[in-house]
Structure 1
């Protein structure tokens, strides 16, 4: 059974990189460029892992995560941000957030993290 990973980032380069990196083996990677697209995909697909940028156009990444929490959708989530230290307090209260990754991130570290969260 393929695992579905949703990657949400407004930078096309990061979406393509993560699609290439994570779209191997048993993973299917869906991508969105903003929070609204992410919520639309989350409404129509069963997602096993969410990797989302903190700062997004239209609807912020943190707002997407809070919405999933409100709807009791326990999707393990990795939040990416250029300013990790500024968001740790805000993200620590969200049960679905398993990791906050600093941008630019280490590809090997991310790959290991994803494998562990999808087990």
Structure 2
């Protein structure tokens, strides 16, 4: 059974790139463009991994991580951000965050992180 990955980014080009890359690697991919959409999808589906942009409309990455923590969800998360050096360390230390990648990210690094997390 293929593993399902949630990809949420407000930039259509990044969503499409990640969807194509991960689909070609054999994963099932669901995409969203806002934090609210991400949370609704997390509440209604079971994902093996979420790849979230840190800055999202309506709910940002930190708010989604806090909601996951409150619900005791065990969903691993890769955070992507254009300003990784500006991310609060307490957000990065959340147990859900398995990796933080800066934009622009190396595709091979991202795929390696996905494989490592899902093994």
- Take 2:77 and 2:19, find their aligned partners in 1: how far apart are those partners? 16
Say which SS state the counterpart of residue 105 (structure 1) adopts.
coil
Q: Which runs of 4+ in 1 moved over 6 A?
A: none
- Take 1:66 and 1:93, find their aligned partners in 2: how far apart are those partners? 12
- Take 2:108 and 2:73, find their aligned partners in 1: how far apart are those partners? 28
- 8 A Cα contact 1:5 1:49, kept in partner: yes
- 8 A Cα contact 2:92 2:100, kept in partner: no
Over the aligned positions, Cα root-mean-square deviation in angstroms equals 1.1
> Is residue 49 from structure 1 mapped to residue 69 from structure 2 by the alignment?
no
> Is residue 33 from structure 1 mapped to residue 36 from structure 2 by the alignment?
no
Deviations 1:33-86 (A, max 9, x none): 001000111111101001000001111122111111110101110001111111
- 8 A Cα contact 1:88 1:100, kept in partner: no
Kindly tell me the number of residue pairs found equivalent between the two proteins: 119
Deviation at 1:90, TM superposition (A): 2.8
Q: Which runs of 5+ in 2 are unaligned?
A: none
- Which residue number corresponds to residue 62 of structure 2? 62
- Take 1:88 and 1:97, find their aligned partners in 2: how far apart are those partners? 12
- Take 1:87 and 1:70, find their aligned partners in 2: how far apart are those partners? 20
- Which residue number corresponds to residue 100 of structure 2? 100
Deviation at 1:30, TM superposition (A): 0.3
Deviations 1:80-104 (A, max 9, x none): 1111111151323310101110000
Q: Which runs of 5+ in 1 are unaligned?
A: none
- Which residue number corresponds to residue 114 of structure 2? 114
- Take 1:83 and 1:16, find their aligned partners in 2: how far apart are those partners? 21
> Is residue 10 from structure 1 mapped to residue 2 from structure 2 by the alignment?
no
Normalised TM-score (structure 1): 0.95
